[in-house]
Structure 1
Amino acid sequence: MIEIQDIYKTFGDNEVLKGITATFEAGKNNLIIGGSGSGKTTLLKCIVGLHEPTKGKVIFNGEDFTAMNFEERVPIRKQIGMLFQNSALFDSMTVEENIIFPLNLFTDMSKSEKLDRANFCLERVNLKDKNKLFPSELSGGMKKRVGIARAIAMEPKYLFVDEPNSGLDPKTSIVIDELINELTQEYKITTVIVTHDMNSVMGIGDHIIFLHQGKKAWEGTNKDIAHTDNQELNDFVFASKFTQAAKEKL
């Protein structure tokens, strides 16, 4: 479980986050949604320590992450997996080498153990025997799946995902959503996803927080969205006929 308490973040005179409090639970897809400039990615970066909050606390399973120095944060960082928006694969490395990369950095596993782990992760994301391919030989969906395989290589307790469906077609997006959902439930991971994809929201949104102008403007599940009277949320979520039709089915 991850708790964020009264998180503020200011860049110069620009106050991006304005006192956000929320709890993200294990085994659930915790989605952060909102319009451009609402603070979604800034909040994600504050949670994982890429930005330091101007004020407030980030707590991982009862441990105050914000109060720790670099060395004290290492054990928690080893439990974090991240899938970046562009997958962030190393072009000069094979699929196998990309997945083994964090194992080289953070474990003392033997070469054979690392290979076994890489093969397990590849099989788990339905990319068995793709070890020796390079990122340039992969489709966009395959790159995302390799990114997921690398993110789970360290058996993380926490998985952070930034716009997982960016640049993907609708069918591939559903495959990625289902894979993230399966892994979250299977391993009881605390998964935090930043997304603007309303199909993801309606499909796997166990717990959703909606940011508007740097504040938490709404919190609930995807089914709760169908009955909300929050005008800003309605304007954001049901901007298309497709998502309006999805609402009517709930």
Structure 2
Amino acid sequence: MIEVKNIHKSFGSNHVLTGIDAVFEPGKVSLIIGGSGSGKSTLLKCIVGLHEPTQGKVYFDGDEFTKMSFEEKVPIRKEIGMLFQNSALFDSMTVEQNIVFSLDMFTEMSRKEKVERANFCLERVNLAGKNDLFPSELSGGMKKRVGIARAISMNPKYLFCDEPNSGLDPATSILIDELIQDLTEEFKCTTVVVTHDMNSVMGIGEYILFLFKGQKYWEGSNQDMLKSDNKELNDFVFASPLMKAARDTIKQ
């Protein structure tokens, strides 16, 4: 479980986050949503330690992450899997080498064990046998799946995904969502996803945190969202005629 308490983040005079509280539970896909500039990516970076909060605390399973030294944070960071928006694969490395990279850095596994782990992760993302391909030989969706394979290579307790469906077609986006949901259930991860994809919100939004102008304006499940009278939430989620029509149909 991850808890954030009263998180503030400022860059000079620019106050990006103001008093954010949230609880992200294990075995559940949690989404952080909001418009551009709402602070969702900044919040994610504060949680994983890429940004230091100006004020507030972050807890991983009851341990206060924000007060730890760099050395004290290392064991928790080893349990974090991260999927970046652009997949962040090393272009000069093969698929297998990209996945094994974290294992080389943080484990004492033998070469055989690392390859076996890479093969297992590739099978889980339906890319078995693609070990020797380079990122330039992969489609956008395949790159995201390799990024997920690398993220789960260390068998993480905590999985973070930043805009996992960015740049993907709708069908591939659904596959990525289903994969994230399946892996969350399989590994009992505490999964946090930053997204603006409303299909993801409706498909896998077990817990949704909605940010507006750097503040928490609403939280709940995707089913709760359909019944919400929060104006800012409704203006954001149901901005498109198709989403509005879907909500109205469900409410009837």
User: Would you say same fold, with TM above 0.5?
Assistant: yes
| Aligned position for 2:39 | 39
Deviation at 1:192, TM superposition (A): 0.2
Q: Give the match's secondary structure for 1:100.
A: helix
TM-score (norm 1): 0.99
Q: Secondary structure at the match of 1:51?
A: coil
- 1:201 aligned residue: 201
CA contact (8 A) 1:5 1:20 kept: yes
Task: Report what 2:111 is aligned to.
Answer: 111
1:212-246: per-residue Cα shift (whole Å, max 9, x none)?
Answer: 01000000000011100000000000011222233
Distance 2:200 2:241 in 1: 16
Asked if the contact 1:199–1:243 (Cα under 8 Å) also holds between the matched residues in 2, the reply is: no
Q: Find the counterpart in structure 2 of residue 49 from structure 1.
A: 49
Count the aligned residue pairs: 250
**1:66-215 maps to which residues of 2 (within 5 A)?**
66-215=66-215
Q: Give TM-score scaled by structure 2 length.
A: 0.98
Q: What whole-Å deviation, never above 9, does each CA across 1:4-60 have from its counterpart, x for those lacking one?
A: 000000100001000000000001110000000000000000000000000000000
Equivalences for 1:220-235 in 2 at 5 Å? 220-235=220-235
- Give the structure 2 partner of residue 20 of structure 1: 20
1:249 aligns with 2:240: no
Q: What is the percent sequence identity of the aligned residues?
A: 72
Offset of residue 202 of structure 1 = 0.3
Contact 1:8 1:16 in 2 (8 A): yes
**Quick one: distance in 1 between partners of 2:108 and 2:200?**
37
Do residues 236 (structure 1) and 247 (structure 2) align?
no
5+ residue gaps, structure 2, are none
**2:217 aligned partner:** 217
Report deviation, 1:124.
0.4
- 2:250 maps to a residue whose letter is K
SS at match of 2:43: helix
Deviation (angstroms), 1:187: 1.1
Q: What amino acid is aligned across from residue 242 of structure 1 in structure 2?
A: L
Tell me if the contact between 1:91 and 1:134 (Cα under 8 Å) persists in the aligned partners: yes
Other structure's SS at 1:142 match: helix
CA distance in 2: counterparts of 1:211 and 1:126, whole angstroms: 34
Question: What one-letter code is carried by the residue in structure 2 that aligns with 1:171?
Answer: A
> What is the one-letter code of the residue matched to 1:116?
E
Partner secondary structure for residue 46 of structure 1: helix
Match of 1:11 in 2: 11
Point out the more displaced range, 92-101 or 236-245. Answer: 236-245
Q: Which runs of 5+ in 1 are unaligned?
A: none
SS of structure 1 residue aligned to 2:4:
strand
CA shift, 1:186, in A, is: 1.2
In 1, distance between residues paired with 2:58 and 2:36?
23
